[in-house]
Structure 1
């Protein structure tokens, strides 16, 4: 049973504790019923289930203006889902990230059209930022969006797009030319059935997720598809990541908590020379290190989330610290759990083996670990 004592920390309100408990119960009851043999279909089923359960209401704002994005809730949901099922966490996260730009900067018409569908789980969303030659270097994007009358015509490629191939709507970033580098990007809402948009490759990874390369060939969208202002795309992308980067750390924390739980079960039930494995002092040292890494990660994550929810205009440094530390330490926690399981730790299908494959990508997407170090260093120097 995962430790819940952190919910008493002053970062949280009673509504957060209620949310975490309710989702934990729901996940235990519903997620085991989802067939994961077909990854695409599993994601569709998970999005539908999360929508029916009301959990996706937290992933996108209410178009009626009743509520906004609460980062602590997003983090708690991702942590809880990741502890139960990595693909469920992925399905939830992409509903939020995919329409984050619409939630934060979209027009009333864009919000009214897409956010109810995303919140209900009847439409799947995606965030199309990365290009073949520009991953973390967003300012180097080359995809273009040329104004043509009352339309924009998009040309270029996006790759490593989560939900690519199954999404109903993409938030796409393209160069509109207001300036060089970061100053010349804009954001657009592009429905998946728009002529000129095609999925050219599905990408396979060590932990199965729907990923794809997209090609835009004279893909025409109305001027009303522009999110916010022309030239504001970089600022929009960074603002979205400012909200959701902490949640990546929370997912890593969920994986780490599950690994610690599995390790505790292993070392207390496995016997060596007539005594539990836990009686070995070296094993106790491993468990202690894992516990410290888990709690330290949680402190960094919920500090960043609390600061954002309480009006901090930007939490770039705090979110980068949370993502860097939590993803890197989760990798170490899970590796220790695999080691403590011995041969069973690398057996295909074992929980710790699945966690080992799941965690690696989190140290890369939404800003790789070394990119986070650069961000932290520059922010610290700026202070």
Structure 2
């Protein structure tokens, strides 16, 4: 595959997922976000990183409604942009992680009927109608693991199968890819049957899933979970401000928050002073031991251990290991494995800063998944045994539109 695939990004947040894909060889050509503050931060961070503007621009989903892209004029316009992108690349993909509190055990847990839960169905509908060559769908493990949500997830997958996609999924943990954070997320990937034929992957016409072991999920895993979680990590130490603790030689230092604080030079980062300053409760800050993350809120990280899942909303407070304060934005970005040159704008509210950080896909995890997709698409020889049991063949759904107007396409490209 000699031409860089082009990506349409949905629920883009401030671009953590997009940044990992760009670093791996994809072009982000279209960005859609439902929160205007995140969109502005996305633009700002790209300027700081000196990255090019998306070819087809930035698009704000009014009232968080991406269903508008599946019907009417906006749907037609998006379809024409996709066709224009195909003129200069062999592969067009969709990537996105719909907001997930409705599937999170620690969130609203309203499932498919919640406002955010409905966005997952809308994203799948968008994929089925516009037929990208492949897609990525990211969400919390509750959608995959919780019984009442799993049925909805299976229904989404069946819809994608019926629309002509072969699927593969994995419950990843960001720590496997070098992120200093115990963060599980479900990743669902789908590839159009026509693309599967193009890369000559020999599967049955009725297949719904890519055969086990074919997609290279494990290729870019740096630290297998069994290795990570068998290390003798530090438990707790009495909190003492600005104290010094030696690092054990028996742990993986690269997965500790202190390693990343130093690597990202968080004290001199542009977002170093962006942290909540308590009006009260300082005494409570001082009473929590370093490494005591057992409670719902007021979790104090240990400098020589990885962080629990970066989640800074719903009153979940993470405390600095050896300072009497909450984490700074710079430190939270480091825990999400962002490059130290990634910056959020000063004018963004602290609430939105921490919320978008907690919602984002860790950069190193994104980069590893992107590289795995490229490897899969570039494979020329396949070695596996054909499944013996055949499944019912599912019909391919037609594309959303027939090409009708070159003139309208020209207008869409000229005015994204």
Query: Is the structural similarity TM-score above 0.5?
Result: no
TM-score, structure 2 as length reference: 0.24
